[in-house]
Amino acid sequence: MSPKLFSNLSAVVYYEYGSPDVLQLEEIETPIPADDEILIKIEAASVNSGDWHILRADPFMIRAVSGPLKPKHRILGTDVSGRVEAVGSSVSRFHIGDEVFGDVSRCGFGAFAEYVCVPEKEAIILKPDSLTFEQAAAVPSAVTALQALRNKGHIEPGQNVLINGASGGVGSYAVQLAKSFGAAVTGVCSTGKVDMVSSLGADHIIDYTKEDFSQNGLQYDLIHAANGYHSISQYKGSLKPNGT
């Protein structure tokens, strides 16, 4: 592929940690895929809590990965969908024109731009025709929920599962995934999100503005804590003896 096929591109960049005020819209050099990379023309990118934490370097330990004094990567954004615009000489999984989506965090981020280069073996897959680009760009958050419930929580049919933070990006997927595994799901959310969490399939809903699940005496086989607003001891108190 010749770089002359494309002009310079726009991207949202940052050079120091801070609030969204440090973000700037700039022209950048055209990315050129290496032999094992694909070039994706980005159609949609979602913003999640990880982007927020990296932008602010909060918690401070994030700097160990993203750069001790200033950001190592100028362009944020992990969750992306788009079309394959060009492929490297050794690429075999994808072809020009393929619609794809996935997570580009392991290859330097960069979703908040017009184009991004990604190794073909990274977390990029073909987009189902049934999903819009916007829907597909929001799917990678589901991986966090899937890993927690299936890989770490070893969820089983018939279990009673509590999703704390059931209306958030990860929590909303956790409710649907837990139901798909055959669990009875209790979702914890605020008053304004009760109807939404119910529409996702939750069997029971606890409005945390009116009730603290850790104080009601109920216990669960598995708790998915999509937020950190309770202590480990409080969670343990709401777990059955062999709960996770």
Residue 127 placed within a domain: yes
What digits encode the pLDDT tens for the residues 110-163?
A: 999 999 999 999 889 999 999 999 999 999 889 999 999 999 999 999 999 999
- Same domain (yes/no): 10, 115: yes
Residues 71 and 190 in one domain: no
Asked if residue 244 belongs to a domain, the reply is no
Are 126 and 195 part of one and the same domain? Answer: no
Report how many domains make up the chain: 2
* Same structural domain, 156 and 229: yes
Say if pTM beats, i.e. exceeds, 0.85.
no
Q: Is residue 180 one of the residues assigned to a domain?
A: yes
- What percent of the chain clears pLDDT 90, i.e. is strictly above it? 86
Query: Which residue is associated with the tokens 């694909």?
Result: 38
pLDDT of residue 234: 93
Q: State whether 124 and 179 are in the same domain.
A: no
Give the N- to C-terminal CA distance of the chain in Å, as an integer: 51
pLDDT of residue 63: 95
User: Are residues 162 and 56 part of one domain?
Assistant: no
CATH of the domain at 212: 3.40.50.720
133 DSSP 8-state letter: H
Q: What pLDDT shows up at residue 6?
A: 55
| 98/151 same-domain check | no
Which of 104, 137, 170 delimits the end of a domain?
Answer: 137
What's the pLDDT at 133? 98
CA-CA-CA-CA torsion for 232, 233, 234, 236, nearest 10 degrees?
90
CA distance 84 to 81: 10
Q: Which amino acid is at 88?
A: G
Q: Among the three residues 137, 155, 182, which one is the final residue of a domain in this structure?
A: 137
Q: Check residue 77 and give left, alpha or beta (phi > 0: left; psi -120 to 50: alpha).
A: left
Domain of residue 53, CATH code: 3.90.180.10
Instruction: Look at residue 73 and tell me if it is in a domain.
Output: yes
3-class SS shares of the chain: helix, strand, coil, % to 5: 30, 25, 45
Q: What is the pLDDT of residue 244?
A: 96
Task: Indicate if 72 and 149 belong to the same structural domain.
Answer: no
Q: Which range marks the domain in which residue 155 is found?
A: 141-237
Question: What is the structure's pLDDT at 1?
Answer: 44
Of 113, 137, 161, which one is at a domain's C-terminal end?
137
For the chain (length 244 residues), average pLDDT per consecutive 10?
A: 59 96 94 95 93 94 93 95 97 97 92 96 94 95 93 98 95 97 98 97 97 95 89 94 95
43 assigned to some structural domain? yes
Q: Which residues have C-beta within 8 Å of that of residue 160, sequence separation ≥ 6?
A: 183, 184, 186, 219, 220, 221, 222
**Residue 243 is assigned to a structural domain of this protein:** no
Residues 111 and 184 in one domain: no
Check whether residue 86 and residue 169 sit in a common domain.
Answer: no
232 and 152 in a common domain: yes
Q: What is the pLDDT of residue 7?
A: 61
pLDDT value at residue 4 = 44
133 and 153 belong to one structural domain? no
